[in-house]
Amino acid sequence: MRHLLSAADLDPAGAVTVLDVAEQMAATQRREMKKLPTLRGRTVVNLFFEDSTRTRISFEAAAKRLSADVINFSAKGSSVSKGESLKDTALTLEAMGADAVVVRHSASGAPHRLAHAGWIQGAVVNAGDGMHEHPTQALLDAFTLRRRLRDGEVGADLKGLRVAIVGDVLHSRVARSNVLLLERLGADVVLVAPPTLLPVGVETWPCEASYDLDGVLRGEHGDLDAVMMLRVQAERMNAAYFPSAREYSRRYGLDARRLGLLPPQTVVMHPGPMNRGLEISADAADSDRSTVVEQVANGVAVRMAVLYLLLSGAPDEGIRS
């Protein structure tokens, strides 16, 4: 695997390989000594042009637990704030000997440009680009589902599972990556959102779409195994996509009443950060069904697996570059 820029970079076998390696990495994190010598001498740069907490810390923890040297770069307070271009930043990192660059950028396609422009020789991992994709989030979500609903079985895919992704699909890179990855792993996906928060052309995506959250939760088109609530990304909205926060919560928020509509086995997911009281209530976020904290913990194991497969020279059978 040369880069990880999109969930589409992984075929079904490759995605399962990443999940299997993540399972091995998770096992090492239960030991008293969590650090592995696998990437000793390698340098991983976290290149973040957007604010982040979970993703940046998760990648930093993953790299350090593999014994890599980590350089954290934030656009704020750097030469970027003085007008330095992405190219010049990349050339600087190349001069410093970066083996892998984990990049988050507000512009869709920035990681792809970084990977293919010839500015750096190292591996590039997309940690979220604009409203495009966030592949490692989709991988950790799939890993969480496999652990909860497949008992973490090595080699297992997600065939037969039905997952609802609810909320601000239009602005969500997490939704795009999850639709691609879950479909490749055999799951059925239904997107639920008001018409204004579904992207143009969503009918071409490999999933269903609905405006009726209650109907989907009641299983009118099949029982759900997981409900993934998406954050309402007000910072990306330049118009009124719904009448009010109260109206949105009433129509598309997961509260105690809607939680009661779900079958007993259904889990509740959220990529974070959460807007409690808007897309998800405290009852749902803190319930036994919730995997929110598990997703954060699983993110470290999955990102360890990604960095290991990119940098260790391990066989990449089933994973397309």
The stretch 217-232 carries a mean pLDDT of: 92
What type of residue sits at position 6?
S
Tell me: pLDDT of 318 over 70.
no
- Reported as a pLDDT band with limits 50, 70 and 90, residue 79 is low
- Residue 270: pLDDT above 90? yes
pLDDT number for residue 108: 93
Q: Does 320 or 87 have the greater pLDDT score?
A: 87
Tell me: pLDDT of 60 over 50.
yes
The arithmetic mean of pLDDT across residues 16-22, rounded, is: 97
pLDDT tier, 317 (very low <50, low <70, confident <90, very high otherwise)? very low
pLDDT band at 313 (very low <50, low <70, confident <90, very high): low
What confidence tier does 78 reach under pLDDT thresholds 50, 70, 90?
Answer: low
pLDDT in tens, 156-209: 999 999 999 999 999 999 999 999 999 999 999 999 999 999 999 999 999 999
Say if residue 56's pLDDT is above 90: yes
Query: What's the rounded mean pLDDT across residues 264-286?
Result: 94
At residue 75, the pLDDT reads: 74
pLDDT in tens, 101-128: 999 999 999 999 999 999 999 999 999 9
What gap in Å lies between CA 107 and CA 115, rounded to an integer?
14
Residue 83, pLDDT score: 67
Q: In sequence order, what DSSP letters do the residues of 82-117 get, joined into one string?
A: GT--HHHHHHHHHHTT-SEEEEEESSTTHHHHHHHS
- Distance of alpha carbon 42 from its chain centroid, rounded? 24
Helix (H, G, I), strand (E, B) or coil at 257: helix
pTM as predicted: 0.93
pLDDT of residue 152: 86
Q: 62 and 311 in contact (C-beta within 8 Å)?
A: no
Provide the pLDDT for residue 188. 97
Cβ-contact 15, 184 below 8 angstroms: yes
Question: What is the pLDDT at residue 239?
Answer: 62
Residue-wise pLDDT for 132-162, tens only, equals 999 999 999 999 999 999 998 999 999 999 9
6: confidence class by pLDDT, cuts 50, 70, 90: very high
In contact, 106 and 148? CB cutoff 8 Å: no
Closest CA to 55 of 129, 148, 161, 153: 129
Cis? peptide before 273, omega within 30° of 0:
yes
Judged against a pLDDT cut of 60, whether residue 321 lies above it is answered with no
Q: What is the pLDDT of residue 231?
A: 92
